[in-house]
Chain A
Amino acid sequence: MQRDLPPLVDYGLIPLLNLLLAFLVGAIVLGLIGVSPLDALGTLFQGAFGSLDGAGYTLYYATTFIFTGLAVAIPYQAGLFNIGGEGQAMLGGLGVTLVCQSLGGVSLWLVLPLAILAAMVGGAAWAAVPAILQVKRGSHIVITTIMFNFLASAVMTYLLIDRLRAPGDPSPETAAFPASTALPYAHEWAAKLGIAMEESPLNLSFLVALVLAVLVWLFIRRSLWGYEIRATGYNPSAATYAAIPVGRVTVLAVCLGGACAGLVGINEVMGVLHRLVLGFTGGAGIVGIAVALMGRNHPFGIVLAAILFGALYQGGAELAFDYPQVTRDIIVVMDGLVILFCGALENMLRVPVTRAWQRWRLTSAIRRPA
């Protein structure tokens, strides 16, 4: 009965109500540990959007979540659930590292496209194996992509401890990349324009993420491959009837998702860390699942959901800074509540809202003589 709801209610009102519910329960948790929920909300909002650098942090987090959200959304169109964003992002970071380390002193505008390509190839390659296993052997992709996250983690540990670690450095990370490969920061550009902006990790990758979201939308809605991916996801036997190579299309969709996840390397490794660090993904691949759920697997919805999660990350950090009672664990609880209500319980409010909407429409139709 989804058609009974106008898009504004479906895509706007319901997520908003879910978010309010999450905040409501969050407020109770904060009240229990003796923090005024309203003050805390103020701090959170102020921290996330109240200053240019705060907003910078929010959008920097959002950049990574856009990539990992899209990594879930594209395979979802083919009917597959990609849980492997985390591992695919790690391999993307490895690709970026190889490009940046070997191209010191070369113009950034040449390095960046190559690094993007390497990141995408790394992520796609790591996604390809589970995808092919799914198509050829029927191994469930949810299981295999989870396993591949652990495999990626192990591979990275090996590489960073035994192969890529800078000589003499005790921590599992590479040496810093040549300075010429660093992406420009937002605050550097702001300074050029004469705007005072405190330092934040927001960098050029954010624009890459926005462009990517538009490209993914065009690809899914308007390209032949997007058409074949959606046909396969909605109705595989109709896709077979239409002589669409279902297996190949499935692998393509998952690999493209992996490629999006790989781009996390651009933001984190090339944009901020300027070196490959063990565990640089920090669980972003998993958050991407919630982002995709909340954004209804629509690229534009994912951008909005990613900004919301970015705000929660940044605002949450401010909250922990300002209130001694708010520990890192409480922030995890807050994030968890948003994921719970906006992701997992996404359909909980749909039925009552649909009923209320129909009743309201009916009464207004009766008041207005037909």
Chain B
Amino acid sequence: MSDGAAPAIAFDRITKRFGAVLANRSVSFAIAAGTIHGIIGENGAGKSTLMSILYGFYQADAGEIRLAGQPARIGNTADAIRLGIGMVHQHFVLVEPFTVLENLALGREGGLMLQPGIDRARAAARQIEAAYGLAVDLDAKVEDLPVGARQRVEILKALYRGARILILDEPTGVLTPDEVLQLFQILRRLKSEGKTVLLITHKLKEIMAVTDRVTVMRAGAVVGDVATADTNEADLAERMVGRKLAILPERVPVVPAEPILRAQGVRIVDAGGVERVKSIDLDLRPGEIVGIAGVSGNGQSELLAALAGLLPLAGGTLSWNGAPVPVEGRAKILRHLGLGHIPEDRHKNGMVGPFEAWETSVLGYHRDAGHARGVWLRSRVIRALTARRMVEYDVRPRDARLRTSAFSGGNQQKLICAREMARGPKVLLVGQPTRGVDVGAIEQIHARLRALKAAGTAILLVSVELDEILALSDRILVMVDGRVTGALDRSEASERALGLLMAGVQGAAA
């Protein structure tokens, strides 16, 4: 620990239990003032619980938090804000139709009239912007801002409320590589101005790039607390997972074959009349993984959803093994033909939070023979099946009757993967399969995708993680503004080539 001045934050034997689960077990470590401190761990390791205790969402069952040496009682978030703690949530908490200034003033209007509060916010925001290099258009509506800018608004909001300690929970999950670099610059600037930054993440690269010290958590306990300079990615990964990670297997070569699913001239227009996908042709062949790379928001999500039948097609045709697929009701038809779909947004589409795990694990397949008899669900059969899948896909805790929302993100994703993969789909559409998922689970999900490919499934992978695209794909398409702007074979693709194509630089790969 740092000697001399008392650390900005000291966790002293923090323990928190939820029912049978010990989310934090006697967690102790200190964070020196004016540093960037990383906390990494798999999903369910207890990072979020610890931060929720620090920010006053939960009360620790035992233990103490000291801020600058003083024992702190943080009974609710208002206490936390008063004590100078600010939090930037993974999912932003902004009023979208409000302007940036209105969001800043929210809760600090100070009096009956709105204008003085707004004026105060403007003056303060200008100062903060200048001090930390946070460029935001104060009069823009939040709903019009890109994700990276919204995040800066959140940081601005925390600083405006007087935060000396800033907690960032998985801040880079939604950012483009460029936005990530910008964020890191802001964090360094905050540090140089004496703020203390807590970075919660599961991305080792980011820990190495920006932190001074890193605490590793596993199963609710601290398993490592080291200066970043004294460690490396492999070491951290092993500590996080508690074992050595497997070495990547050899790529299985693609045997040329006729495409199973073929999309031609696909156009998608969104509810606002904007053309999100502009005439795309796509062939998915057995035993091949096609990766779609691109900065998020360039039409990949819409393409994936439309192929699965969740969005209407404004134009174009689909065919399955050469036979045309009707446009109306194709979601159901494609499922019957053997299409699996791991959706991008698991909370929105992939699962039903209040459903018990066994109910979620047949979502979309609940009418299949074997899952239903007459009008009744065969709950006992499905529960047994779910219990088997939980073992096979390592879903924890292994409780088929637990509510889906009570599982951690990674385990929810494994549950969804199990559902979509277990039936041996002929075509599998996969969107951001490892978003918000820990290293161990990523390794496992990737291995499953490779195994399916080897078994002859045609896979379409949409991901904003270039590492993931490069690790899995046989063929890579780059999408910019609703068009495919580049098609590369894996052998000719590199992070640099893809990055240039994603940025819209034509012919960069040639």
- Interface residues in chain A, defined as those with a beta carbon under 8 Å from any beta carbon in chain B: 3-4, 222-225, 227-228, 230-231, 234-235, 237-244, 362, 365
Chain A residues whose C-beta falls within 8 Å of the C-beta of B372 in the assembled complex: 224
When chains A and B are docked, how far (Å) is the Cα of A225 from the Cα of B353?
18
Task: Give the shortest distance, in Å, between B237 (CB) and chain A (any CB).
Answer: 32
State whether B375 touches A238 (Cβ < 8 A). no
State whether B350 touches A227 (Cβ < 8 A). no
Contact of A238 among B19, B363, B379 (CB under 8 A): B363
State whether A227 touches B366 (Cβ < 8 A). yes
Task: Give the shortest distance, in Å, between A252 (CB) and chain B (any CB).
Answer: 12
When chains A and B are docked, how far (Å) is the Cα of A224 from the Cα of B354?
17
Known: A234-B354, A240-B310. A3 touches B379 (CB 8 A): no
The answer to whether the Cβ of B260 comes within 8 Å of any Cβ in the partner chain is no
Chain A residues whose C-beta falls within 8 Å of the C-beta of B189 in the assembled complex: none
When chains A and B are docked, how far (Å) is the Cα of A3 from the Cα of B403?
10
Instruction: Determine which residue in B309, B355, B406 has the highest number of CB atoms from chain A within 10 A of its CB, and name it.
Output: B355
When chains A and B are docked, how far (Å) is the Cα of A3 from the Cα of B402?
11
Instruction: Determine which residue in B19, B335, B376, B379 has the highest number of CB atoms from chain A within 10 A of its CB, and name it.
Output: B376
When chains A and B are docked, how far (Å) is the Cα of A227 from the Cα of B351?
13
State whether A241 touches B377 (Cβ < 8 A). no
State whether B331 touches A243 (Cβ < 8 A). yes
State whether B376 touches A235 (Cβ < 8 A). no
The answer to whether the Cβ of B96 comes within 8 Å of any Cβ in the partner chain is no
When chains A and B are docked, how far (Å) is the Cα of A365 from the Cα of B16?
12
Chain B residues whose C-beta falls within 8 Å of the C-beta of A242 in the assembled complex: 363-364, 366
Known: A227-B366, A237-B348. A222 touches B355 (CB 8 A): no
Contacts of B328-364 to chain A: CB distance below 8 A: 331-332, 335, 341, 343, 348-355, 359, 363-364
State whether A224 touches B366 (Cβ < 8 A). yes
State whether B349 touches A230 (Cβ < 8 A). no
State whether B355 touches A230 (Cβ < 8 A). yes
State whether A227 touches B359 (Cβ < 8 A). yes
Contact of B375 among A225, A230, A235 (CB under 8 A): A225
State whether B375 touches A241 (Cβ < 8 A). no
When chains A and B are docked, how far (Å) is the Cα of A170 from the Cα of B363?
59
- Interface residues in chain B, defined as those with a beta carbon under 8 Å from any beta carbon in chain A: 18-19, 61, 308-310, 331-332, 335, 341, 343, 348-355, 359, 363-364, 366-367, 372, 375-377, 379, 403, 406
Pairs across A and B, CB under 8 Å, 19 listed: A3-B19, A224-B376, A227-B366, A231-B355, A234-B354, A235-B348, A235-B351, A235-B352, A235-B353, A237-B348, A238-B348, A238-B350, A238-B352, A241-B308, A241-B331, A242-B363, A243-B332, A243-B335, A244-B364
Known: A231-B355, A237-B349, A238-B351. A223 touches B377 (CB 8 A): yes
When chains A and B are docked, how far (Å) is the Cα of A239 from the Cα of B364?
8
State whether B367 touches A234 (Cβ < 8 A). no
State whether B343 touches A241 (Cβ < 8 A). yes
Task: Give the shortest distance, in Å, between B365 (CB) and chain A (any CB).
Answer: 8
When chains A and B are docked, how far (Å) is the Cα of A365 from the Cα of B17?
11
When chains A and B are docked, how far (Å) is the Cα of A3 from the Cα of B352?
17
State whether A224 touches B377 (Cβ < 8 A). yes
Chain A residues whose C-beta falls within 8 Å of the C-beta of B406 in the assembled complex: 3
When chains A and B are docked, how far (Å) is the Cα of A227 from the Cα of B348?
18
Chain A residues whose C-beta falls within 8 Å of the C-beta of B366 in the assembled complex: 224, 227-228, 242
When chains A and B are docked, how far (Å) is the Cα of A228 from the Cα of B375?
11
Instruction: Determine which residue in B19, B332, B359, B364 has the highest number of CB atoms from chain A within 10 A of its CB, and name it.
Output: B364
When chains A and B are docked, how far (Å) is the Cα of A243 from the Cα of B337?
13
State whether B376 touches A222 (Cβ < 8 A). yes
Contact of B349 among A4, A224, A228, A238 (CB under 8 A): A238
Known: A241-B310, A241-B343, A241-B349. A231 touches B377 (CB 8 A): no
When chains A and B are docked, how far (Å) is the Cα of A228 from the Cα of B367?
10
State whether B353 touches A222 (Cβ < 8 A). no
Instruction: Determine which residue in A231, A241, A244 has the highest number of CB atoms from chain B within 10 A of its CB, and name it.
Output: A241
State whether B332 touches A241 (Cβ < 8 A). no
When chains A and B are docked, how far (Å) is the Cα of A238 from the Cα of B341?
12
Chain B residues whose C-beta falls within 8 Å of the C-beta of A224 in the assembled complex: 366-367, 372, 375-377
Chain B residues whose C-beta falls within 8 Å of the C-beta of A223 in the assembled complex: 375-377
Chain B residues whose C-beta falls within 8 Å of the C-beta of A241 in the assembled complex: 308, 310, 331, 341, 343, 349-350, 363-364
When chains A and B are docked, how far (Å) is the Cα of A227 from the Cα of B358?
12
Chain B residues whose C-beta falls within 8 Å of the C-beta of A238 in the assembled complex: 348-352, 363
Q: Which 6 A-B pairs have the closest CB atoms?
A: A242-B364, A241-B349, A243-B332, A243-B331, A242-B363, A235-B352
Chain B residues whose C-beta falls within 8 Å of the C-beta of A243 in the assembled complex: 309, 331-332, 335, 364
Task: Give the shortest distance, in Å, between A107 (CB) and chain B (any CB).
Answer: 30
Closest to B19 in A: A3
Task: Give the shortest distance, in Å, between B112 (CB) and chain A (any CB).
Answer: 29
Task: Give the shortest distance, in Å, between A245 (CB) and chain B (any CB).
Answer: 9
State whether B349 touches A222 (Cβ < 8 A). no
When chains A and B are docked, how far (Å) is the Cα of A222 from the Cα of B366?
11
When chains A and B are docked, how far (Å) is the Cα of A228 from the Cα of B353?
14
- Name 4 extra pairs, CB < 8 A, besides A4-B18, A222-B379: A234-B352, A238-B350, A241-B341, A241-B343
Task: Give the shortest distance, in Å, between A9 (CB) and chain B (any CB).
Answer: 14
When chains A and B are docked, how far (Å) is the Cα of A225 from the Cα of B372?
11
Task: Give the shortest distance, in Å, between A46 (CB) and chain B (any CB).
Answer: 42
When chains A and B are docked, how far (Å) is the Cα of A235 from the Cα of B331?
17
When chains A and B are docked, how far (Å) is the Cα of A197 from the Cα of B298?
76
